[in-house]
């Protein structure tokens, strides 16, 4: 988004806020979505992921209020909900609000002060497409509570608390990848994350390469139940091999011990062990601008995801064919949990437009669905929104809020 798009977005959020709550917001927080460049399902196996925060993000425009009430409106769903910070319980009728209720609860459980506020949520992260709109919402909410409470959390701790909210309050047993990327991401670089000790190091992508997200726009029907089954199979495999996590075995060692496992569990585990190694190899290949290795590793990742981990879908096959046949492609693979949703390609920066046009055409010809194709760059992690506000959208002429 360029500056004028951002200002327009801000003006429309401000206008909605003024309509709902009668005055302008005083605090603007944001947190990004993410795309995994390599490392499908390695996070809950305590392995590595190469991950990138993206320019799609979730904003919460807020204004503190006296008392313990949080009043919310989400522009994406055109829905409202309120809850008291004194009685935090899930609301099955407004499931989306549980992401914020959950964050409030885990913060309180840590002894951190939470304060009431009015808030308008606006996100450009496609919801339910595998780019982690849920973590972006949690991390933006934690940032609001942080700013209002006058305390600060280290990014890794903030991520862990947001993950706990999603695991325990929302009831989604996700790993740490999404929240870590949203909290600790940095502009202009990918992160090589170690999901065991929650350390990460920056990985610069070659300037001649562009990361392009290709959304199949197919529903991720099986994602919930199959995700849980894959996770249980990995844990069973690790247990049977006497490991704390699949992270703790090399590809070579696994090859020798795989016959100890039931066939399906062995296939799942093999994918994770190989994928984990591919993460480190892809980080090195990107740093060396080794396009051949990038192409090979991403192709192997997709192949393993389909034949060993079985998280593929017909729409993903069609998208993979479209991406790998398009001009300028260097590598392509799945993204997120699989089962549809978004995929990711590395594309020669000078040929992105031709790539996008060809993918659009080929995917439509195969599926009758128009895909979304988004070139993305690495964005900063969760924080206050750095914008100097234009005058009030509704023309009240009030001075702009502070520039953060």
Residues that bind ligand ADP (CB under 6 A): 58, 74, 76-77, 95-96, 99, 121, 123, 127-134, 137
Residue 132 CB, nearest distance to ligand ADP (Å)? 4
Q: How far apart are CA 343 and CA 1, in angstroms?
A: 21
Torsion of CA 168, 125, 297, 197, to 10 degrees: -40
Q: Could you tell me whether strands 117-123 and 69-74 are parallel, antiparallel, or unpaired per DSSP bridges?
A: parallel
Q: Is 371 buried (19+), middle (13-18) or exposed (0-12) by CB count in 10 A?
A: buried
| Nearest approach, Cβ of residue 55 and ligand ADP (Å) | 15
Nearest residue (beta carbon) to Mg ion = 134
Q: What is the 3-state secondary structure (H, E, C) of 185-208?
A: CECCEEEEEECCCCEEEEECCCCC
Q: Quick one: what does residue 339 bind among Mg ion, ligand ADP, none, with the CB cut-off 5 to 8 Å set by partner type?
A: none
Least CB distance from residue 401 to Mg ion, whole Å?
A: 30
Nearer to Mg ion, 238 or 342 (CB): 342
* Residue in 36, 57, 178, 215 annotated catalytic: 178
Residue 40 partner contact from Mg ion, ligand ADP, none using kind-dependent CB cut-offs of 5 to 8 Å? none
The CA-atom distances, in angstroms, between 120 and each of 64, 197, 239 are 12, 35, 45
Q: Say whether 178 is catalytic.
A: yes
With both helix axes pointing from N to C terminus, report the angle between 291-307 and 263-287 in degrees, rounded to the nearest 10: 160
SS (HEC) of 134-159: HHHHHHHHHHHHHHHHCCCCCHHHHH
What is the rounded distance in angstroms from the CA atom of residue 210 to the CA atom of residue 281? 19
Cβ-based nearer residue to Mg ion, 34 or 63: 34
Residue 134 sits in the site that holds Mg ion (CB under 5 A): yes
Q: Are 341 and 216 in contact (CB under 8 A)?
A: yes
The closest of 363, 359, 332, 362 to 345, measured between CA atoms, is 332
Measured in whole angstroms, how far is the alpha carbon of residue 343 from the centre of its chain? 13
Rounded CA-CA distance 7/15 in Å is 12
Q: How far is the CB of 364 from ligand ADP (least distance, A)?
A: 23
**96/145 with CB nearer ligand ADP:** 96
In degrees, to the nearest 5, what angle opens at C-alpha 385 toward C-alphas 382 and 391? 165
Q: Which stretch binds Mg ion (CB under 5 A): 21-29, 114-122, 125-133, 324-332?
A: 125-133
Instruction: Give the residue with the Cβ less far from ligand ADP, 106 or 131.
Output: 131
Q: Which of 379, 384, 56, 386 is nearest to 186 (CA)?
A: 379
Q: Stretches 40-48, 128-136, 304-312, 340-348: which one binds Mg ion (CB under 5 A)?
A: 128-136
Classify 101 as helix, strand or coil. Answer: helix
Closest approach, Cβ 140 to ligand ADP, in A, equals: 9
Residue 371 neighbours by CB under 8 Å, 6+ apart: 214, 215, 216, 217, 319, 322, 359, 360, 363, 364
CB 332, min distance to Mg ion, A: 22
| 238/342 with CB nearer ligand ADP | 342
Pick the piece of the chain touching Mg ion (CB under 5 A) from 50-58, 129-137, 260-268, 354-362.
129-137
Compute the least distance from the CB of residue 178 to ligand ADP, in Å: 7
Instruction: State which residue, 132 or 163, has the beta carbon closest to Mg ion.
Output: 132
In this chain, which stretch among 134-142, 148-156, 235-243, 369-377 interacts with Mg ion, using CB under 5 A?
134-142
Do residues 115 and 107 touch, judged by C-beta distance below 8 A?
Answer: no
130 binds, among Mg ion, ligand ADP, none (CB under 5 to 8 A by kind): ligand ADP
User: Which residues, 6 or more positions from 4, have their beta carbon under 8 angstroms from its beta carbon?
Assistant: none
Residues binding Mg ion (CB under 5 A): 132, 134
Return the active site residues: 178
């Amino acid at each position: 988004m360029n500056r004028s798009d951002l200002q327009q977005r801000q003006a429309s959020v401000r206008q909605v806020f003024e309509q709902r709550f009668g005055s302008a917001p005083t605090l603007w927080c944001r947190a990004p979505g993410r795309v995994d460049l390599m490392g499908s399902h390695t996070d809950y196996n305590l392995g590595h992921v190469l991950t990138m925060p993206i320019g799609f993000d979730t904003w919460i425009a807020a204004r503190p209020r006296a008392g313990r009430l949080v009043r919310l409106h989400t522009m994406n769903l055109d829905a409202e909900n309120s809850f008291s910070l004194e009685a935090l319980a899930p609301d099955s009728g407004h499931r989306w609000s549980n992401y914020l209720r959950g964050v409030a609860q885990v913060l309180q459980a840590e002894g951190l002060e939470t304060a009431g506020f009015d808030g308008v949520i606006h996100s450009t992260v496609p919801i339910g497409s595998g780019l982690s709109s849920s973590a972006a919402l949690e991390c933006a909410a934690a940032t609001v509570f942080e700013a209002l409470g006058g305390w600060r959390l280290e990014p890794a701790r903030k991520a862990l608390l947001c993950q706990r909210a999603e695991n325990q309050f929302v009831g989604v047993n996700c790993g740490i990848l999404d929240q870590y990327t949203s909290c600790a991401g940095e502009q202009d670089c990918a992160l090589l994350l170690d999901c065991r000790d929650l350390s990460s190091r920056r990985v610069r992508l070659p300037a001649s390469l562009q990361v392009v997200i290709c959304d199949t726009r197919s529903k991720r029907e099986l994602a919930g139940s199959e995700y849980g089954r894959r996770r249980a199979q990995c844990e069973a495999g690790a247990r049977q091999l006497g490991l704390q996590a699949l992270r703790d075995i090399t590809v070579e060692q696994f090859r020798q011990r795989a016959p100890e496992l039931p066939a399906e569990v062995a296939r799942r585990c093999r994918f994770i062990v190989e994928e984990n190694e591919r993460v480190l190899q892809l980080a090195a290949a990107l740093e060396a601008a080794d396009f051949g290795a990038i192409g090979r590793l991403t192709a192997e990742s997709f192949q393993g995801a389909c034949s060993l981990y079985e998280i593929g879908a017909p729409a993903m096959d069609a998208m993979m064919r479209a991406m790998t046949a398009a001009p300028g492609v260097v590598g392509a693979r799945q993204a997120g949990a699989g089962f549809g949703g978004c995929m990711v390609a590395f594309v020669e920066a000078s040929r992105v437009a031709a790539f996008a046009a060809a993918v659009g055409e080929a995917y439509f010809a195969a599926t009758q669905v128009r895909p979304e194709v988004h070139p993305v760059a690495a964005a900063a992690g969760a924080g206050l929104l750095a914008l100097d506000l234009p005058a009030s959208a509704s023309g009240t002429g009030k001075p702009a809020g502070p520039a953060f």
